[in-house]
Amino acid sequence: MSVDMSTLLLMFPVVALSMALAVLIVVWGRWRDDGLAQWGGSIFMIALAFPLFVVHQHAAGAYPFLMVAGNALLAGAYAVALAAVCRFFGRANHVWRVLVPVGFAAAGSVVFIHQADVRVVLGGVLFGVQGGMLVHEVLRRENGAPGRGRTLLAIGAAMVMVLYLQRSLGVMLGWNEVAQWQTPHGIQVGSHLMGLAGLIFTTLGFVLMGKERADAEQQKLARLDTLTGVPNRRALMDGLDRVLAQAGREQRSVALLMVDIDHFKRVNDSYGHLAGDAVLAAVAACLRDGLRAQDTLGRYGGEEFLIVLPTTDAAGAARLAEHLRQRVEKMDVRWAGQDIRVTISLGVHARVPSGQTEAGAMIDTADQAMYAAKHAGRNRVEVWTAPLRPAAAQGAG
């Protein structure tokens, strides 16, 4: 079956222009710092480059500057795509990675304007290297585990890299038909189809990366208390269940600290609810900064916080609770030119979870200890050493 190379070449600008417009419409009016606008620009440059190659082909080389401009645009498109990926991951992109490829492509096209085979070899190596740089940037270890979007983008960029390098290799092996755009050589046709697939893969991958990041941020926000920035009650309970299950298997002690801000209603009544919000956020930050990396602080409700301490016995939990109490006692919250000072009462409960131990039972017991601290005068730590109450042992709280 005969393949019309001009039609095949025109598929690139049609597909590329459609995708570029779709991307730019998405980001129109809200040019975010995720690189999507730059990515749309790179696809638009590809859409401009290939019509130049088609016109140059039909003009039988009468307008050599079209080939020069097309190669420069193509190199610039891949360079801008690399800059878009760098921007997405918050890394600086050196200017030389944009200017050098464009300059090399333009200079090589001018010097070898009448030697299509040499031009294809040089261009293939250049564009192949750019594709490899894109793969490397997407799969860098600092980016974390690759999701579906990054994987799709890396596959597409690898396809671009392979297609250009195999074109260069084909010419070096004597398959000079590869250097002629109008010749429907098998490698020529395969290259264009692979390039078109690579364009679709990379763009869908980049868009999917942005969606995956947005979804992850939404999930994170859904599990955080918006005022204090610590896990909310739902996230806290999910984490506590996991900690108790693991501790039960390993027969290690888990400690809970129930924390309540003393006389918090007075703060709201005296300074207003915005001041109360500031105090809550400050106490949460103070508590968080006093914990170990493996500990978890969450807002349990109102002015109460719950702290989960894995592999910690009652004595260790009591020492940490006293340390936190002193930190909060020394803290000043500046509000409307005044210093607001608060204290906290803490209840401590620790045990080695058994198969029957439930999170609600331990929380209820830590809560009893916290109320004992309040009844004993506030601004103190109380450790619950008595056995669980029958109701608490059944998970009631």
Q: Say which DSSP state 389 is in.
A: P
Q: Say which DSSP state 176 is in.
A: G
Q: For residue 5, is pLDDT > 70?
A: no
Q: Are 123 and 78 in contact (CB under 8 A)?
A: no
Q: Are 297 and 231 in contact (CB under 8 A)?
A: yes
Q: Which among 148, 52, 163 has a CA at the least distance from the CA of 109?
A: 52
Report the pLDDT value the prediction gives residue 393, as an integer from 0 to 100: 40
pLDDT band per the 50, 70, 90 thresholds, residue 120: confident
pLDDT band per the 50, 70, 90 thresholds, residue 119: confident
Q: Is 217 left (phi over 0), alpha (psi -120 to 50) or beta?
A: alpha
What's the mean pLDDT in 241-270? 94
Q: Which two tokens stand for residue 307?
A: 């702290």
Catalytic site positions: 303
Three-state DSSP class for 177?
A: helix
pLDDT band per the 50, 70, 90 thresholds, residue 390: very low
Report the pLDDT value the prediction gives residue 171, as an integer from 0 to 100: 78
Find the angle CA(366)-CA(294)-CA(386) to the nearest 5 degrees.
20
Q: Which two tokens stand for residue 229?
A: 């920035």
Q: For residue 394, is pLDDT > 60?
A: no
The answer to which of 160-169, 292-301, 369-378 has the lowest mean pLDDT is 160-169
Q: Which are the contacts of 391, defined by CB distance < 8 A and separation ≥ 6?
A: 364
Report the pLDDT value the prediction gives residue 371, as an integer from 0 to 100: 95
Q: Which domains does the chain have, with CATH numbers?
A: 5-222 (1.20.1070), 233-393 (3.30.70.270)
What's the mean pLDDT in 75-92? 93
**Model confidence over 22-35: pLDDT tens digits?**
998 888 877 667 89
Give the torsion sign (CA, 118, 119, 121, 122): positive
What's the mean pLDDT in 209-217? 90
Between 194 and 303, the more confident residue is 303
Q: Which are the contacts of 395, defined by CB distance < 8 A and separation ≥ 6?
A: 358, 360, 361
Q: For residue 299, is pLDDT > 60?
A: yes
Report the pLDDT value the prediction gives residue 4, as an integer from 0 to 100: 66
pLDDT band per the 50, 70, 90 thresholds, residue 294: very high
The answer to which of 2-16, 127-141, 144-158 has the lowest mean pLDDT is 2-16
